[in-house]
Structure 1
Amino acid sequence: MKIMKRLLPLYIIMVYCITAFTGCSGANYEGKDLVDRAKKIHTDQDAAHITVSDRTTYEVLQEITYRFEGDVMQYMYIGRDIETGREYYEFNSGNELDTWQTGDYGWNAVARGSEGYYNYSRAKRHYFADGDLLLNDYSSAVKSAEIRNEVGGLKRVCLQYDDSRIAQYEQMSGVTGYREQYEFDPVFHDGQCINMLVTYQKDGREYSYEIDIEYCDPEEPIKRVGLPAVSGEITENAQ
């Protein structure tokens, strides 16, 4: 999604474009086994709906629904830049890539095999369908970790990072107070991570982002959603 990366603010790209992150030393901490298990569970899933929200404004920044049909990933993605109001839509059926961004009148379609077409598979994973969506790339900088047992059997792993150690990662320059919280459901969902929260400070401003993960029926087709109204036109229906 190269177009959307240009639309999103730098701090969102830093946190959520997982493929750009470097690996960590694999340091152990309390709850790491739960995180590692959830990463594998997420990678093995055939279908999911994921939203990324700004906790300070309660606005959805990114959302995707996907499923694998055989080896091919089909998906519907929407990205929003709340600072500029721009949006980006991307639908991939596995045979055609349809994109739209603010300023376009209608969908831009590229057929499979044509220039500009791209897709994802189980081997070439979209970052939302990869276990590394559950960040944890900086475990060598974990300062403290705590497992909290919640009502209904839910478990939370809360990680606090050391400012001086996390600053050694180039991508985290200027970041302080970095924290992650994972919520797992070992009772009804076999240890799946159903929610993740990331908070930190940078340049005198606090950022807080939340990822919600819901696994779906892989037999349910992925639909292309309607576009926002353009120049007073009626919003296109889902199809």
Structure 2
Amino acid sequence: MSAPAIPNPEAPQADTRERLLDAAEALIYAGGIHATGVDAIVRAAGAARKSFYTYFESKDALVAAALSRRDERWMRWFVAGTLACGRTPQARLVGMFDVLREWFASEGFHGCAFLNAAGETASSDDPVRVVARDHKARLLDFVREQSDAWAAASGADRRVAARLARQWLILIDGAIGVALVSGDADAALDARAAGRALLDALAPRSDSGSRSQSRSESALRAPLRRAAQRKEQDHE
């Protein structure tokens, strides 16, 4: 599966607003918000500058709208790719990193557009930061769905599933960050290995395993009990 493609700003069927959104998304994802001016966006969109203010009251409003549209497209791509990775919850959770690896290896990968944008905003109430926060909340909700399904299949507590989902999101974002900085798509494989270890650690022990552990513990305590019994007999 390939990464979600940026729509072609020069597509004849795209209206002016869509061309502005396409151009803003592509330029900002590649170069950042502050490094991308309105004039550059207007030129890339093949639009007149006055048309920009027909659709958007400010550059921030345009960026927020472009990110909102990217959120919809990215989530559709990620959800579809994840669900195609397997029939079991564990296969889907682990498969998320295979989906990410293909994205990391694709041409034009510049990390997470939402983390990048949030890093350029100072206020938590900034519309761009709000969109980024909403995107991560949507991603966490999807991961939580898979974590709940894993917990139901393995017999784990739902509280464990909630913790797993939060930790899984950190693995996802961590893999994205490492892949961006290092240029190594295999950061996804390292995150996948860490995820497998996390699932193993959180999975409830089987009844047979518990019984084996109980028998082992009883065997270890048996000499202590016999010694205590002998000591009591010596004092009688």
TM-score band, normalised by the shorter chain?
Answer: under 0.3
TM (norm. structure 2) is: 0.24
Relative to total residues, which structure has the larger strand share, 1 or 2?
1
Relative to total residues, which structure has the larger helix share, 1 or 2?
2
Greater CA radius of gyration, 1 or 2? 2
Relative contact order (alpha carbons < 8 A, sep ≥ 6): 1 or 2 greater? 1
